[in-house]
Every structure is written in C-alpha cells, then in structure tokens.
Amino acid sequence: MKTLIIVDVQNDFIPGGSLVVPEADQIVSVINTVQPKFDLVVASQDWHPQNHISFASNHPEKSVFETIKINEQTQTLWPDHCVQNTNGARFHPNLNTAKWEAIFRKGTDPGIDSYSAFYDNGHLKSTGLAGYLKEKGASQLFFCGLAADICVYYSIFDAFKEGFACFFIEDASKPLDVEGFKKIKEEMVYHGIQIINSSEI
C-alpha cells in the first residue's frame, strides 16, 4: 500500500498568507501530478484556535519568531496562522483534494503546538493517523507539503519511529529556512529516509 501524506498545504503558508513559506505555491502542481500514483492519499491540516499558545499575539511582551519555554519545551512564537474556519486555514484553492480519503487536523489544543501530523509536540495526544495507516495496511509513506523543515520533518520522523518506510518528495515540499534544511536532509539520509524527486515515483 503506497501512501501519500500531504502536509499542511494551506493558504497561510502560501505567498499572501500570514506565515509564508518561500515559493510554496510552486509545489501545488507537483502534488496534483503525483496523487494518481498512490493507493491512498491523506492530508494534515493545521487547525488552531485563536487563543493558541504558539501565537506571538497571545504573549504581549514577546515578538514573532522569539522562543520561550512552555512546560520545559522550547516554543517558537509564530504569527497567527491557520485559525479554525478562516480562509488562511483552508487548503490552497488549486490543490486537488478529490482523491483524499481522510484529513487529520492538528494543533487544535490551545495549550500545546503540534508540528507532526501524528502527535502534538509533547507526544501527549495522537491524531490517530498512525493507527489509521496501520489499519489500512500502509507500509510505504511518501511525504510532501509545508513546511519541509518543520511540519513535514516532524511528521516523517514520527512515522519513522512508528516503523513505516518513509520517503521525502523534495520537489513537492518547500522549507521555511532553506539553509537550516540542509542539515535536516543529512539527518534524514543518516536514518535511512529516502529523499526522492516526484519523477522517481
């Protein structure tokens, strides 16, 4: 069972949104092209309440992209993004969703951030994605989406720890920090996660 997991291709991460990932709009056509090659396609969706702890606006003395400690975890403070039921939380309008069998929402708890599509950042609560994939008989997971160095990265490593064979589709993903992502890719290769191009699927 070859499975595609599309991570957070939402308006707030696209140019014009509140937390723009550079060139993020370029991956939409690539993702649309590869979807028919998969037996199963699912997606994750950042779905934050307005009072989310990760929003700098909820910490009056702090600035966007500043880091603080919350429950002994380092938390980056982000611009308000992907707030429930807003246009910014919607998937990119050109993204083909017809083949998707399920959408897993994350970041819904106002008290903890959730980068991974599988768990919150404290691994306190599961989204149910791992169990869903195992029940479906998924074995090979191919990841794409936004941002490659944050939510895609954390999703891949949680999947790896769950025992799935993981592939990262590089041209169907974009990082927030291009330079920092080079080190993350080295880490992926070290752990046996395959970095591929969409043409190799």
Q: Which of 56, 83, 82 is nearest to 70 (CA)?
A: 56
Contact by Cβ (8 Å): 84, 30:
no
- Catalytic pick among 46, 82, 106, 158: 106
Task: Examine the residue annotation and report whether 12 is marked as an active-site residue of this protein.
Answer: no
- Name 144's Cβ contacts closer than 8 Å, sequence gap at least 6: 4, 5, 6, 7, 27, 30, 31, 34, 152, 168, 169, 172, 173
The Cα–Cα gap between 146 and 151 comes to 6
The Cα–Cα gap between 80 and 49 comes to 10
- Catalytic pick among 12, 113, 144, 151: 151
Amino acid (one-letter) located at 72: E
Amino acid (one-letter) located at 13: F
Task: Examine the residue annotation and report whether 151 is marked as an active-site residue of this protein.
Answer: yes
Beta bridge partners, 103, equal 43
**Could you list the active site residues?**
8, 106, 151
